[in-house]
Amino acid sequence: MISFSCDYLEGAHPKILERLLETNLDQTEGYGEDPFCGAARELIRQKIGCPDCAVHFLTGGTQTNLTFIAHALRPWQAVLAADSGHIATHETGAIEATGHKVFTCPAPEGKLTPAHIESALVLHRDHHSVVPKMVYISNATEIGTIYTKTELTALHECCRANNLYLYIDGARLAAALTARGNDLVLEDFPKYCDAFYLGGTKGGALFGEALVIVNPDIAKDFNYSLKQRGGLLAKGRLLGLQFSALLEDDLYLKLAAQANVFCQRLKSAFEDLGFSFLVDSPTNQIFPILPNALISKLRESYSFRDWEMIDADHTAVRFVTSWATTDVMVDTLIDDLRRFCHE
């Protein structure tokens, strides 16, 4: 059984494990105040070209989202998201549990636009409604699509004009930055958003996300929120070590680029066989619409997720590749796929 069900199926890239072994008995301060975290912070600041931004390490995406959003907003302020946004769908109400409304906009491709934001603002005009104060986007999105520089700039300008924070969930940021059609680089993010995170969990680390807070107004006192929400890891060094390993020599981007290539090769195979997709995604997630009989057949040897029922006979499913996916895995699947379709 080979699994394409998600991008957190394995442990970590070997370089990370090496670093853990090498440094295991070094004594360091706890809670992220160690030299490994210090070095990783510096490396991130250098890679994104933002020497003054705050960098914090957390263990997971939901934790990062809830801690940052709860930190930045006042109680009557809300966050806008696409209706497919992770905070709106698959975080068990984590944002609401900190007291904040998530206002969702219908966005078939998983992407917000200035028009969405302006429509939302019209509905929130006095103290009988919440105040939209943050725009949350994911890049790559939950359905594998990406934002272009033009699109991100437009969101940035709309947010500035309306006094809104722009926050980017980068659980799959590396996948976006190495996708076909992408024209953004790491250095762009501090220019266009108030905060974003570099996802480690889905990018080759054991676990960990690096939150970058660019806007100093919302950077202050973040350590208090981090501790209060349970996200301050005692042995924070583990996070620093992993991000240094990933960012040195751009391993982070290289691993994502390779995962994208594998996924797109798989996509071409589906296309060649005449299948269509729920959405045209250039990253490491694809959503082919398949006959249920073929799905059953594939499930004998492969794991992948049902995503959406299309009709009585067809279902959109999701295949995901990761840093740990290999040539052999993808080729085996493609071979089987072709065989099943031509039987």
| Subset of 278-307 contacting a second copy (CB under 8 A) | none
Our CB check for a second copy shows the closer of 182 and 285 to be 285
Our CB check for a second copy shows the closer of 97 and 161 to be 97
Binding a second copy (rule: CB under 8 A), the pick from 26, 157, 272, 306 is 26
- Under rule CB under 8 A, residue 123 binds a second copy: yes
Cα–Cα distances in angstroms (integers) from residue 4 to residues 141, 259, 276, in the given order:
18, 11, 19
- Under rule CB under 8 A, residue 318 binds a second copy: no
- Under rule CB under 8 A, residue 121 binds a second copy: no
- Under rule CB under 8 A, residue 231 binds a second copy: yes
Binding a second copy (rule: CB under 8 A), the pick from 172, 229, 297, 314 is 229
- Under rule CB under 8 A, residue 81 binds a second copy: no
3-state SS class at 213: strand
Residue 206, both tokens: 């054991």
- Under rule CB under 8 A, residue 230 binds a second copy: yes
User: Which stretch, 148-156, 174-182, 223-231, 288-296, contacts a second copy (CB under 8 A)?
Assistant: 223-231
Contact between residue 147 and residue 156 where contact means Cβ atoms under 8 Å apart: no
Binding a second copy (rule: CB under 8 A), the pick from 37, 55, 57, 67 is 67
Pairing of strands 54-58, 209-213: antiparallel
3-state SS class at 128: coil
- Return the HEC string of 54-87: EEEEECCHHHHHHHHHHHHCCCCEEEEEECCCHH
- Under rule CB under 8 A, residue 211 binds a second copy: no
- Under rule CB under 8 A, residue 163 binds a second copy: no
- Min separation Cβ 2 and a second copy, Å: 7
- Under rule CB under 8 A, residue 238 binds a second copy: yes
Contact between residue 209 and residue 239 where contact means Cβ atoms under 8 Å apart: no
Residue identified by tokens 């350590």 is: 223
Residue 80, both tokens: 């806008």
**DSSP code of residue 14:** H
- Min separation Cβ 132 and a second copy, Å: 11
Binding a second copy (rule: CB under 8 A), the pick from 119, 129, 268, 301 is 129
The interaxial angle of helices 251-272 and 237-247, nearest 10 deg, is 70
Our CB check for a second copy shows the closer of 97 and 293 to be 97
Binding a second copy (rule: CB under 8 A), the pick from 128, 163, 274, 328 is 128
The interaxial angle of helices 114-122 and 149-161, nearest 10 deg, is 20
- Under rule CB under 8 A, residue 21 binds a second copy: yes
Binding a second copy (rule: CB under 8 A), the pick from 40, 48, 54, 66 is 66
- Return the HEC string of 123-191: CCCCCCCCEEEEEEEECCCCCCCCCCHHHHHHHHHHHHHCCCEEEEECCCHHHHHCCCCCCCCHHHHHH
Binding a second copy (rule: CB under 8 A), the pick from 82, 91, 138, 144 is 91
